[in-house]
Amino acid sequence: MFIQIEEGYDKNEAFPHKNKMDEKDPRQGHVSSDIHILPPSPYTDVRKSSFIKGKLPPENEEILPKNKNVEKPRTSFLYDPRRKTLLGRSSLNWARLALFYTIFYFCLGMFFVILLTAFAWMLDREVPRYYNKDSTMAVRTTATVVGMGFRPQPEIDDSLIRITSDPHQQIRIASSLRLYRDVYLIQRNDAKIEECSEVEPASELVPGTACSFNWFHIVNTADHPCSDNNMYGFKNEEPCVLVKLNKVYGWTPSKGPLPPRIQDLRNIHSNKSVSKPDVYITCEGSNPADKDALHDVKYYSVGKPSGSIKYGIIPNYYFPYRNAPDHVQPFVLVQFKNLPLNRLISVTCRAWEPGMEHDSKAMRGMVAFQLFRSHLIEKPNIDDR
């Protein structure tokens, strides 16, 4: 075994154990002389490695490419023919990725379906879990919020009702009210209904049974001002507007004294609490100028089918609403007569009962719409010139 030592190294420093090995080993009894140091060969040029300093020898620097800024084509990212990759991924990588997301979204969808099924099984189809004061309808108030609606409404996002002498326009508006009547205000012959009264109110009905009430309880004759023959009043430019309460599960008129407005209309003044009050409907102009123009209004309701000039009535025994399939929400027909021509009138209708709250901003307990009456402008005949 021979070891070659570079020039300039101290033999004693490079092999500090040499002197010890040259000494006689007392255990073996002989001198170790297996290692021999040869002088450097004149034909071998051994230099200190320049890798210690992190540099290449000068003669090897030419091996590195001179141009380090070799740009690859930009289209290689979409498809690299050398590596056979699409968008930086091989076909096997894309297959693994597709398999992973397929399984992931399948498990996620099954988790959603399981939760939806569990919630549907827990909830009742007929009775909501929270209603009246326990629901969000009673937020920031002590009473249940009851909304109102009106018909006809030819445009769902418009509250303007046009009254005109144009027969085509009259048919169009009347058909809107007729469609609503046929769908929501008529009970079938095989409907599960019973007669309701003060003795047998809606609260005493069997679940799934509704009170007997429909359109013909108010419009009971063909000569009625709001009948089909009169096109719901639009034929005579005296429109009938249907005003109703929205369906609120479990809501009933609260016990208490009648509102002062109703006491004035009924010419009674009493603070006596009423246990089962009715719901009263009144309509008037929204502004003082509208009140002056709107002075001939008549109400047709189940309490007074012949009409009243003061208010409409919805009897208390039609409440509460219990989500019966054949239920028809009680309503009042309000007829507006002698409307001025070419003048927009804003109308606000309110519902009155001891616990009803009115808020014009949130439209609680009220509804607003506009009336505009105009005549058809006939075009001049060319032959008459």
pLDDT digits (tens, 9 = 90+) for 317-375: 999 999 898 999 999 999 999 999 999 999 999 999 998 888 888 888 999 999 999 98
At residue 348, the pLDDT reads: 96
Model confidence at 268: pLDDT above 70: yes
Model confidence at 163: pLDDT above 70: yes
Residue 269's pLDDT band (cuts 50, 70, 90)? confident
Average pLDDT, the chain: 81
Model confidence at 62: pLDDT above 50: no
Model confidence at 265: pLDDT above 80: yes
3-state secondary structure of 298: strand
Spatial distance between the Cα atoms of 373 and 289, rounded to a whole number of angstroms: 16
Spatial distance between the Cα atoms of 10 and 33, rounded to a whole number of angstroms: 19
At residue 258, the pLDDT reads: 93
Model confidence at 6: pLDDT above 50: no
At residue 106, the pLDDT reads: 97
Higher pLDDT, 349 or 271: 349
Strands (E), 145-238: 148-151, 160-164, 193-194, 210-211
At residue 69, the pLDDT reads: 47
Residue 155's pLDDT band (cuts 50, 70, 90)? confident
At residue 29, the pLDDT reads: 47
Spatial distance between the Cα atoms of 274 and 278, rounded to a whole number of angstroms: 9
Higher pLDDT, 51 or 179: 179
The tally of CA atoms less than 13 A away on the side-chain side of residue 316 is 14
